[in-house]
């Protein structure tokens, strides 16, 4: 919902990595492919505010035919070493059992030169405790190198690896090494191995809020079902915590930082960067029917051994004026509309004992940022609807709090002309979470192009991709088998996403 490569660039976007200069210029790099060529490039764009981007020429990562790194390559990152120069890691030999890491160098983040011409700087370790070829049950992992300083100021690197013990579906680990120099990388035992994941992709290790953290991305498609109490079958970026840099790192039951249920590849790989006194999390959307895109940054927060995300105030730069929400009308396929509605200024009361009802205000904007205080007085569920035209057989997005099922959902709102009311049952994603009657929740919904984010009481719940672009403007309050009150706190039109 933030940036997509232009059609002119012919690039597709995947995992991203960011480097921020001393004067706060944001350099976005991303694993990129061209039609018929696979992942062989690092796309490049720059910004001064995270929401407006200038596209720059890509960096060709893959080697020429016959080189050790010919063919598709994998994710990397950028760091500035002691010599003042910038270095970019990347994964070579992505398809196969001998994944390994190469390196580029630059003096200005614009022109890059490969220094690992003759071979990788960090070859895959085949010595215990890392998995050896004769003991593996799948392709090996040694990818996505992340380079940083440890608390003592020494340079270390981490990557997605696998250990040589335990059940095969739980052998994913975060491998570790020490950089004695820019071309001498010494293997160390893994920093994190919790026996729960088949793959721990794009790892990062960092200090934050008085603890040490490791984040990584994985899905329920690697051979083991990954789940949390809120999402039984999950995919996305997860976190571990430790008291010390060396570990041991532990996984709490609800350790999904950002992602989706039903093993959907929505917001998949997320990473952390310090920016103007805050730790921001940035990520990409992996598709789910829509083209991959770079997402809006969020603020990282910690509560004990739990990480969570909140909205970043910098996205206010996308606002293009307040919406005038007047002329509310109940959607209906006949002379009578289902449910009962009472509009008193900014407060709306709705009641529909059986079935669903939507009260809708027409807006010209399809890209919106709306926040309401929602109180379910009785019954099942209520929430917000966006991008829904007033025409029959139209589709929009519905985000609902469900007191009956104890969950929060995001899905489609559909107005079938033969139905007695709108259909709110087409679920895209859900989170198991208690929802109480007569408790007021602050609900913020950001809908931009086909990308949607929902925050409840300030915390991120969903960051996802819809299959279709909004068909028209329109913001609605929805109740289903419930009575609820809506206090509209703010509603803004957003600058449309630049999609070329």
Contact call for residues 133 and 126 (beta carbons, < 8 A):
yes
Beta strands in 254-367 (DSSP E): 256-261, 267-275, 278-285, 293-294, 298-303, 306-311, 319-322, 329-330, 340-344, 347-361
The pLDDT of residue 328 is: 92
Contact call for residues 173 and 158 (beta carbons, < 8 A):
no
Nearest Cα neighbor of 475 from 285, 322, 295 is 322
The pLDDT of residue 134 is: 80
DSSP β-bridge partners for residue 293: 285
Token representation of residue 15: 């995992």
Residue 392 parent element (H or E): none
The pLDDT of residue 390 is: 84
The pLDDT of residue 222 is: 86
DSSP structural state of residue 491? E
Contact call for residues 157 and 115 (beta carbons, < 8 A):
no
Which residues of the chain have a pLDDT value below 70? 1, 288-290, 500
CB atoms within 10 A of CB 492: 18
Contact call for residues 214 and 203 (beta carbons, < 8 A):
yes
Residue entry with tokens 């790192």: 249
Rounded-to-integer distance, Cα 210 and Cα 291, Å = 38
What is the model's pTM? Answer: 0.96
Nearest Cα neighbor of 383 from 372, 392, 394, 367 is 372
The pLDDT of residue 290 is: 67
DSSP β-bridge partners for residue 156: 148, 178
Nearest Cα neighbor of 147 from 219, 197, 95, 86 is 86
């Amino acid at each position: 919902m933030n940036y997509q490569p232009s059609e002119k660039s012919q690039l597709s976007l995947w995992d991203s990595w960011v480097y921020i200069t001393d004067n706060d210029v944001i350099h976005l790099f991303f694993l990129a492919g061209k039609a018929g060529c696979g992942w062989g490039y690092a796309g490049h764009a720059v910004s001064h505010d995270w929401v407006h981007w200038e596209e720059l020429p890509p960096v060709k990562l893959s080697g020429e035919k016959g080189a050790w790194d010919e063919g598709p390559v994998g994710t990397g990152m950028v760091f500035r070493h002691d010599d003042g120069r910038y270095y970019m890691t990347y994964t070579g030999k992505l398809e196969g059992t001998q994944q390994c890491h190469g390196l580029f160098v630059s003096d200005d983040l614009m022109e890059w030169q490969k220094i690992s011409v003759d071979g990788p700087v960090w070859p895959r370790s085949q010595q215990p405790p890392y998995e050896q070829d004769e003991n593996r049950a799948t392709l090996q992992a040694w990818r996505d190198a992340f380079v940083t300083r440890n608390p003592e100021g020494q340079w270390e690197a981490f990557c997605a690896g696998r250990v040589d013990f335990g059940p095969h579906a739980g052998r994913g680990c975060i491998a570790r090494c020490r950089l004695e120099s820019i071309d001498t990388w010494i293997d160390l035992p893994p920093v994190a191995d919790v026996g729960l994941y088949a793959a721990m992709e794009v790892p990062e290790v960092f200090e934050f809020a008085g603890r040490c953290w490791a984040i990584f991305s994985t899905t329920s498609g690697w051979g083991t079902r990954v789940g949390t109490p809120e999402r039984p079958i999950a995919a996305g970026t997860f976190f571990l915590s430790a008291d010390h840099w060396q570990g041991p790192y532990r996984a709490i039951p609800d350790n999904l930082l950002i992602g989706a249920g039903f093993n959907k590849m929505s917001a998949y790989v997320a990473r952390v960067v310090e920016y103007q006194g805050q730790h921001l999390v940035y990520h990409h959307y992996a598709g789910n029917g829509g083209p991959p895109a770079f997402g809006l940054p969020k603020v990282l927060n910690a509560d004990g051994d739990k990480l969570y995300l909140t909205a970043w105030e910098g996205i206010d730069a996308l606002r293009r004026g307040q919406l005038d929400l007047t002329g509310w009308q109940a959607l209906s396929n006949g002379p009578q509309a289902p449910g009962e509605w009472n509009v008193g200024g900014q407060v709306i009361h709705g009641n529909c004992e059986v079935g669903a009802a939507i009260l809708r205000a027409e807006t010209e904007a399809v890209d919106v940022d709306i926040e309401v205080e929602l109180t379910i007085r009785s019954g099942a569920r209520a929430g917000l609807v966006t991008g829904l035209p007033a025409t029959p057989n139209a589709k929009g997005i519905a985000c609902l709090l469900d007191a009956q099922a104890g969950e929060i959902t995001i899905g489609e709102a559909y107005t079938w002309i033969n139905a007695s009311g709108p259909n709110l049952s087409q679920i895209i994603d859900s989170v198991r979470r208690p929802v109480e009657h007569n408790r007021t929740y602050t609900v913020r919904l950001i809908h931009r192009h086909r990308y949607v984010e929902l925050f409840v009481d300030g915390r991120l719940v969903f960051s996802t991709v819809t299959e279709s672009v909004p068909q028209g403007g329109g913001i609605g309050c929805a109740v289903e088998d419930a009575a609820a009150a809506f206090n509209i706190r703010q509603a803004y039109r957003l600058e449309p996403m630049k999609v070329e």
